Structure formats: C-alpha cells, structure tokens
Structure 1
Amino acid sequence: MAYSRIIGTGSYLPEKALSNIELEERIDTTDEWIFSRTGIRSRHVAADDEQTSDLALHASRRALEMAGVKPEELDLIVVATTTPDMMFPSTAALLQQKLGVRGCTAFDVQAVCTGFVYALSIADKFVASGQAKRALVVGAEVFSRLLDWSDRRTCVLFGDGAGAVVLERSETPGILSTHLHADGSQSHILNVPGAIRNGEVHGRAFVHMDGSAVFKFAVKVLDEVCREALAANNLKGSDIDWLIPHQANIRIIQATAEKLGMPRERIVTTVDRQGNTSAASVPLALDTAVRDGRIQRGQRLLLEAVGGGMTWGAALLIW
C-alpha cells in the first residue's frame, strides 16, 4: 500500500511583531484582557510590500530545503489561503512562478482556517494514488488586511504568516486518514461580507465574528472530528503523541485536548506569539515542533482545525 508522507516542513513570519502592549495605544483594550481570553501576547503583521505569495515562498523554500527536493521535482502545488494576492491567477500559480518552475499542477483551496487541512487532504489523494510523486502544500495568509483595527473583538485575534510541507509517495505509512466537513448554514457567525462588483467593494470587507457562537461551534465539531479520525484508525486519545491544533484561541485548544483526554504537555501551541494565522496556523505549529525536536519520526500526530464556512477537519498521520 502506498502513502503520502511529509518529508519536509517550513514556515515564515513577517518581521514586524505587534504586541498587545502596542495595541493598548490604538484601541480600548489591555494586554491582560486579550491574554486572559485568547492566550495571545503578540502577532506578526506583513509589510506593505509583502503579499501572500511572498510569505508562501519563504516557507516553501525552507520546506523544500529540509526535504532535499528541488522545485522542479514538484508535481503539485496547493496553496490554502483566504487572502490571495489578487482575484486571479491563483496564489499557487504565482508561487510556482516565484519558485522558478512551470508545468506542474497548481491551484488554491479556500476553506479559511481549515484550509491547510483541506489542502493536505487533497494533496494526499494525488500522491497516495500515484497521480503525483511529490507535492508542496502551503497555508499562507495576510489576514491583517481583512481587519478593522478599531474593532477590538477581532483585530486582536489574527496575524500573518505561512507554513508549508512537502509530501512524497512512500511505502512507509504517513498520512493515515483525513476527515473534512462543512456547514454553510452557519456561515453568518464568521465571515467577511464583502464582494467585488464592477471594480468596487460592495458590503463590508472586514472580518465579522460572533465570538460566543464560534467558540461553542468550534469546541463541539473539533471534538467530533478528532474522535472520527481516532475511530477510523482504531486509536484513542492516549495513542496520540502530539496534537497540532488550529491556533485560534487557547481556550478552544485546551477544551478540545481535555475532551480527548490529552495532557497539555502533548499539545503544540504557538498562539501566544503568533495569534490566529488562519490557514497558516497548523503548518506553522507543525514546523515549530519539528524544528525544535519535539516531534520525532514514528510518532503519531493529530492535526485539526475549524474555520469560517463553517468548515472543520482533521488529519491523522505518522511522522
């Protein structure tokens, strides 16, 4: 049986870090108020001349370097993003150009914060089935450009960044299963209700969120999809070495882990210094734990995320 297996990870954060203390000078909030409710101390904000494809490029190069793969050896590029450089072409096509290659399949996936898990699931099918030998999967966002910086309910939550992985076809077990879901009837609780018509923005092109509703929904569906992944592989929470969650809110992360019976020391968290980087948060956290040595080959990892749509998903794999 053939699998797709992650052979390299990479990440990138913009140089500018914006702390809660700095936000105190802009809006009616405090470091204590933000941290106690979200677990966030700071987040990164892209420079004016940085685009999503630029962040993706830095993360991709690092993942390719770790994997020992040249860009021209890729058969597939999938970019998960809610903040593309432009309406079209896709950010994946722009990334392909910046990597200096042409010809391989390249496209974007839009599932907001669940985007990377969706993209990973799609790439897994390509690689495991033999349609692609190697794939680059990226989650990249400049979410700061969707924020109303006078709205303390949302602007304190999000940050910019990119994470990437390289998949390769292998006889050694890698990705064991992925599980994806969506419920469009809940789209009103988290959205950006703006659209382009005749070259003009119609509606409000800023993040709108019903925080209480999102929290309740997230805790419920993340527990369900994690259990779905465990059941599909005849495993229990105690069999998982590392939980790599979407970095939305420390309370959601901890609530999910507690329901699964996983101790906090087996959760990878980066939310305190990165905020919610949407589709980038899972691969950013994964790369952090791979590079600091916590994650070792042969360990079982459970990746999970929930995002606007509402979308949610999980991936269970052997590192």
Structure 2
Amino acid sequence: MATNASGFFTAPTVPSQRRKIQHSIRIFGSGFPFPEGISKRVFCSSTFEGAEKHVGASASESRSPKLVSKGCKLIGCGSAVPSLKISNDDLAKVVDTNDEWISVRTGIRNRRVISGKESLTTLAVEAAHKALEMAQVDVDDVDLILVCTSTPDDVFGCAPKVQKALGCARNPLAYDITAACSGFILGLVSAYCHIKAGGFKNVLVIGADALSRIVDWTDRGTCILFGDAAGAVLIQACDGEDDGLLSFDVHSDGEGYRHLNAALKENETDDELGSNGSVLGFPPRQASYSCLQMNGKEVFRFAVRVVPQSIEYSLAKAGLPASSIDWLLLHQANQRILDAVSTRLQIPSEQVISNLANYGNTSAGSIPLALDEAVRSGKVKPGHTIAAAGFGAGLTWASTIFRWG
C-alpha cells in the first residue's frame, strides 16, 4: 500500500490481488481532510493463505484483523522508573557541576538510572501491565505491541522480548520504532494507521529508553540531562464519533543529524586485518556505538522553532483553535524549551505538564511517563484535549492532538 502526506493508506493498485478481495470499507472521521483525487477506500481481507499453518495457533485462535475501524482512543496508561535516584548533588561528586548550575539551566534536579537486575524490558513490561489494568483489557486481547526505543536490550529489538514477558499467548505482532525523543508520538501515528487501515483493535504503544547506557558521565554538558524510564498507553478501536486521535504532523531533517547522534564507530586496533592473502579490509573491524553527542544550543534553537509550528499545523488539521487545548504535553527535554513553546502558543504555564525536575530527559519514555502521572494525579480527566509533541535525534519532530479517554 502507498500512503499520502497525512499518513493515510491508499487503495492498492495490483489487479490480481484486488479480484480476490470481496469487500471494501470506507474510512471517515479521520481528523484529516483527504486530498482531492486520493482514494478513501482501504481494502482488507480477514484471512491469509496458509494462516492455519502458523505455529502455535489454530484458525480459531488467529488474531488476524477482520474489520477496518472508524476511530481510536486512548483508554489506559502506565509508567515505570528505575529504583536508583541520582540527584544533582550526586552528580557533583563525579563531574564538575552543582545543583544550582543544573537546575537553573535545565529545571532538572533528579533522574533515575537502571541498576541491578533492572532492564529496559522490565520497565516496559511494568508500564504495559499498568496501562492494560487501567484500560481493563486482557493481555491476550492485545493485537499489536509497539516499543518506541533507541536503547533496546538487544540490537535486534526489544518488542518481542516485551511480548514474551507480558505472556501474550496469541503471538501478536511486536516491533520496535527507533526515533529517539520523537519515538512515542510516532508510535501513536503507527497505532493510528494500524487501527484505521489494518483493523487492529487493541494496540500497546510503549515509550522506553535507557540513555544512561550511552551517556558520557564525564561530560557535564550531556550527563546532567538524561535519565531512564518507560511509559505505555493502550489505544483501542472505537466508533467514528468517539475518535480521540484527532490529527498528526510529522517531519524529519537529516541535515540536523550532526547536532545530536550516537554514531557507530570502528574500534581502533594495533594489528591490521587482512593478512595471509585475504582481501584487504576484510574481515571488517569490530564496531561499537559512541556515547551520545549533542550540540545543546543548536538543539534548543531547533526545538523552539519547529515545535510550536508543528502544533499549530496539527491544530489546523484537527480544525481546532489553540484555546481548545486543555494541556500542553511536550517531550521533557529542558524547562526552558517548555516555557518558550508555551509562550509562543500563548498557553498559560498552569496548563503545561512538566515532570522533568524529577526524571530529566527520558527520551521516548518522557511523554507517556508525564501523561501517566498527570492522569493518575487527576490533572488530566476524560474528555480533556491534549497537544503533544516530541522532538530530537534525526533530527525528527512530530505533534498530535488527542482527547484522553
């Protein structure tokens, strides 16, 4: 299938496949206007050839999607953080800094760091269980698990490990989304597309990162900013009139890669490879990822420029004025960024959700972690409209307007 600029799936153009499909379903209530000339029909099939041969699942147990849903809503959330808390004073013992220097420039006072038997998987699973419990959805009713992370426990991906640890008996699809601090919002976009065009009913979107693993703890310009955490939401298919994901705006600019990255580098060795007549340069040298590298000033300028604009685009797509926003929920990177964006959008500070003082920048985990705390504290109530945005490595940025509950 192809997609248009808004992320919608257009009808396939393969005649041999189209003849095999008997039903087509129109999608409405999307929150996006369809460009003229773009088909609004999405074709789907409830069965797949050979599906009955899938290991561990009979035809009656198959979780293959059967219907295209009209809308989707966020009905549950959860979060988890490591037990080890590192304060600014603790950091001052290992790097040349102090509490006042950090808090004045960033708003951060504490952060959590994975230790002992904790892992990114255990945090993600704990957050997911809490989201399922709030949503009152059984783990075996989950059709898809998206784990948004740039620091998985395994380079091949974290989502299947999360699926196994959750105990999903029906083997739902699970895969990772790597987009750093924009990851969770892009996870919502992916869930939206899977539900709208794929017929999935219950999708777990988990944002989880452990940037403590790739931070240079001797560099006071970066190590003061980051912490580890996981947050999750359960997104469920619903009727069009209850649609809670109202619009999205998504972008990337690879030109900004140089300002924020953790690049793969070859390890330096004394002995040259390729002796005994083998091809020069083979076998290749072993490689590993460098510590996180960031140009803080450039990232700050980037964020305060693109984030308000992106939220304004999302509001326009949803057909809503800025005054309709109950809460502004941004990636928790720096309090100065939160203040600058809210000022640009003319949103009062009391309507800005902020918890970075306690956790620092937790990358893909920051938005769902802050949302979960706001929901459980009673700040965010069912029916509230939230403007959310993520921004960071790539450089990538994305925003969405959604209604909670």
- Specify if TM > 0.5: yes
CA-CA distance at 1:4 after TM superposition: 1.1
Query: In the alignment, is residue 54 of structure 1 matched against residue 122 of structure 2?
Result: yes
> In the alignment, is residue 11 of structure 1 matched against residue 79 of structure 2?
yes
C-alpha displacement of 1:228? 0.6
Aligned counterpart, 2:152: 84
The residue number in structure 1 matching 2:365 is: 280
Q: Distance in 2 between matches of 1:196 and 1:158?
A: 26
Answer whether contact 1:194 1:205 (CA < 8 A) is retained.
yes
> Within 5 Å, which residues of 2 pair with 1:116-265?
116-171=184-239, 172-195=242-265, 200-202=286-288, 205-265=290-350
Q: TM-score, normalised by structure 1?
A: 0.96
Question: 2:35 is matched with which residue?
Answer: none
Q: CA deviation at 1:200?
A: 3.2
Q: CA deviation at 1:48?
A: 3.8
Quick one: percent identity of the two aligned structures?
Answer: 41
Higher strand share: 1
Question: C-alpha separation between the residues in 2 aligned to 1:39 and 1:199?
Answer: 42
What is the match of residue 167 of structure 2?
Answer: 100
Greater relative CO (CA pairs within 8 A, separation 6+) = 1
Q: CA RMSD in A?
A: 1.4
1:29 to 2:97 alignment? yes
Find the aligned partners of 2:118 and 2:266 in 1 and give their Cα distance: 22
1:263-287 alpha-carbon deviations (Å, 9 max, x no partner): 0000110110000000000000110
Partners of 2:266 and 2:310 lie apart in 1 by 34
Instruction: Describe the SS at the equivalent of 2:223.
Output: coil
Residue 199 of structure 1 and its aligned partner are, at CA, apart by 8.1
What TM-score, normalized to structure 2? 0.76
Distance 1:39 1:236 in 2: 29
* Separation in 2, partners of 1:31, 1:243: 27
TM superposition shift of 1:76: 0.5
Alpha-carbon distance in structure 1 between the residues aligned to 2:306 and 2:265: 28
Distance in 2, Cα, partners of 1:45 & 1:293: 27
Q: Quick check: 93-102 or 245-254, which moved more?
A: 93-102
Q: Residue 223 of structure 1: CA displacement?
A: 1.2
Q: Give, as a single letter, the amino acid of the residue that structure 2 aligns with 1:190.
A: L
For 1:224 and 1:55, the matched residues in 2 are separated by 33
Q: Which amino acid is the alignment partner of residue 140 of structure 1?
A: A
- Counterpart for residue 313 of structure 1: 398
How far residue 158 of structure 1 moved from its aligned partner, in angstroms, is 0.3
Is contact 1:130-1:169 (8 Å) kept? Answer: no
Aligned length: 317
The alpha-carbon deviation at position 105 of structure 1 amounts to 1.2
Q: 1:73 and 1:195, CA in 2 relative to 1: closer, same or farther beyond 3 A? A: farther
Which structure's CA Rg is the greater one? 2
1:194–1:206 Cα contact (<8 Å) kept = no
1:75 aligns with 2:138: no
Q: Deviations over 1:27-69 (max 9, x none)?
A: 1001000000000000000114322111100100000000111
Distance 2:376 2:167 in 1: 26
Q: CA offsets per residue over residues 55-87 of structure 1, 9 Å max, x none? A: 100100000000111111000100000101112
Asked whether the 8 Å contact 2:247–2:315 carries over to 1, the reply is: no
Q: 5+ unaligned residues in a row in structure 2: which ranges? A: 1-28, 30-69, 268-283
Structure 2 contact 265–287 (Cα < 8 Å) conserved = yes
How far the C-alpha of 1:291 sits from its partner, in A, is: 0.4
2:181 corresponds in structure 1 to 113
Deviation (angstroms), 1:195: 4.7
Determine the C-alpha separation between the residues in 2 that align with 1:49 and 1:143: 17
Shift of 1:131: 2.1
The amino acid across from 1:27 in the alignment is V
Q: Which consecutive unaligned segments of at least 5 residues does structure 1 have?
A: none
